Amino acid sequence: MAETTDPEAVHAEAAAWYAETWDPDRPLGEWWQLLADAGWAFSRFPEGFGGRGLGGPAAKAAERARHEAGAFGSPSGIATFLAAPTILTYGTDDQKQRFMPGIVNGQDVWCQLFSEPGAGSDLGGLATRAVLDGDEWVINGQKVWNSGAQFSKYAILMARTDPEQPKHRGITYFLIDMEQEGVDVRPLREMTGDAAFNEVFLTDARVPDADRLGDLGDGWRVGMTTLSHERDPDNAGMGDAAAFEQPDLDMPVGQYAEALAAKVDGFSLALSGGATTILNGIVEGSGVGSEPVTRQALMELLSMRRTSRWSGERAVAAVKAGGQPGPEVSTLKLVGSEIARRTRDQGLGAMGPTGMLWGEHTPENGLFHAYSMFTPALSIAGGSDEVQRNIIGERVLGLPREPGESDQREKPWSELPRGG
Ligand SMILES: Cc1cc2nc3c(=O)[nH]c(=O)nc-3n(C[C@H](O)[C@H](O)[C@H](O)COP(=O)(O)OP(=O)(O)OC[C@H]3O[C@@H](n4cnc5c(N)ncnc54)[C@H](O)[C@@H]3O)c2cc1C
């Protein structure tokens, strides 16, 4: 393990390890296990859990060594960027030992069971009930918009354990086994044509009390930690393989990397930032790049991207020096949605009439169209733009809360109007 956090020393150690170990013919599962065991999978995670407890600059140096070696990276998904950091923060030793190995080596797919038909932005109003029966909790309710639930082995779940408490205080956080009879997952078709997310019906589903994460009634605080990671573009759990589906772990890793690159869709483009490269190609090919209005718009986009990256890195580093990412990350999420909208509008505008078409025969084989169709999701998932503005106003700038909210915060949840 690295004795030092000096970025150059870490880079040298990682480079030597990749030179010796990287082999595209290894089975994917074996490669991910090697990465996790060596602590290079998620180098900012603690030792023993796929990482080395490195700080930002040293972790980036390790990633640079991996890129230079052309080696495929660690798994990525709700398991690594939401479940893992929350378990590492609130989990008991037993929970960390049981759940973390399958996360950092890519064996276990996880999903997030937070949103409900009447509780999205107002997540604190959630109605899914958890009732204690011996040493198990019995869960009943409906969740919605749950990405990747159809492929998941486990989920992070927020449920109401005490309806007589004010809404934020009667919630508890659980780690639930999705592969049980009481869990019914129904995929939903989106306007992109994909069925990435689902409705999940929980009917007498069971969770051992040993799989409760955090204290009874403390689920709001635990859930806010998860959401702060979801809004953090510098999330330590981001790997290379941003896929919700469980891959074939016996497949040669090189072959898997190629298949993943070929399968790029609107969602992965939105996450990777690859749309910018495609936009530049569209602008160049359409000849509008020399028009003053287009040039001005592209320059604005470039400035937004640079400013966002620069201030994001500093804001997140400053916040992280003191622990978990704070409400400041909402500014980054908000700017990210705006950049995506502007990228979409510039690209479709530059295409002219073909911008209105759909399918693989459109420019860029339909990839930019798929990205464009996905962009509204960025302003909704992980908390809508309006909700981010409320967070910035109330929790960063210290402005007064929304009218009537204080009253709602103190009343028992059972006395509140549903969805209110
Ligand atoms: C691609 C995608 C993936 C997702 N994946 C998951 C997942 O894996 N797991 C999960 O649990 N959820 C997931 N979600 C759900 C997401 O968290 C919710 O959609 C989001 O929190 C908004 O909730 P809602 O859809 O119920 O909208 P609503 O809360 O009904 O909001 C409707 C509109 O009202 C506005 N609004 C609401 N309250 C206020 C307010 N106080 N002030 C101003 N405006 C307000 C909103 O901004 C929005 O425009 C996903 C969503 C998307 C788009």
- pLDDT (0 to 100) of residue 218: 97
In the structure, what pLDDT confidence band is assigned to residue 199 with cuts at 50, 70 and 90? very high
Smallest CA separation from ligand 1 atom 35, residue: 386
- With a CB cutoff of 8 Å and minimum separation 6, the contacts of 395 are 326, 327
The stretch 382-400 carries a mean pLDDT of 91
Ligand 1 touching residue 120 (CB < 6 A):
yes
Alpha-carbon gap, residue 41 to 62, rounded angstroms: 10
Alpha-carbon gap, residue 334 to 356, rounded angstroms: 27
Residue, of 276 and 17, whose pLDDT is higher: 17
Residue, of 326 and 81, whose pLDDT is higher: 81
Ligand 1 touching residue 81 (CB < 6 A):
no
Atom of ligand 1 nearest to the CA of 114: 11
Q: Are strands 75-76 and 241-242 parallel, antiparallel or unpaired?
A: parallel
Sign of CA dihedral 326, 218, 76, 52: positive
pTM, rounded to two decimals:
0.90
Q: Does the structure show a pLDDT above 60 at 2?
A: no
Q: Is 386 a catalytic residue?
A: no
131 phi and psi angles, rounded to 5 deg: -125, 130
In the structure, what pLDDT confidence band is assigned to residue 1 with cuts at 50, 70 and 90? very low
pLDDT, tens digit (0-9, with 9 covering 90-100), for 84-141: 999 999 999 999 999 999 999 999 999 999 999 999 999 999 999 999 999 999 999 9
Rounding to the nearest 10 degrees, give the CA dihedral for residues 391, 393, 396, 402: -70
In the structure, what pLDDT confidence band is assigned to residue 3 with cuts at 50, 70 and 90? very low
Tell me the percentage of the chain whose pLDDT exceeds 90: 62
- pLDDT (0 to 100) of residue 327: 79
- Domain 84-230: top CATH class: mainly beta
Residue 227 carries which side chain, given as an amino acid letter?
A: L
Ligand 1 touching residue 115 (CB < 6 A):
yes
Atom of ligand 1 nearest to the CA of 379: 53
SS3 72: coil
- Mutating to test ligand 1, I would choose from 109, 116, 145 the residue with most ligand atoms within 8 A of its C-beta, which is 145
Domain boundaries in the chain? 7-73, 84-230, 264-383
Which CATH number is 264-383's, of 1.20.140, 1.10.3470, 1.10.10, 1.20.120?
A: 1.20.140
Atom of ligand 1 nearest to the CA of 149: 8
H helices present in 48-174, as ranges: 56-69, 78, 84-90, 93-104
List Cα–Cα distances, 192 to 188, 270, 283, 345, 366, in angstroms: 11, 13, 24, 17, 11
Q: Does the structure show a pLDDT above 80 at 184?
A: yes
Across all residues in the chain, what is the average pLDDT? Answer: 89
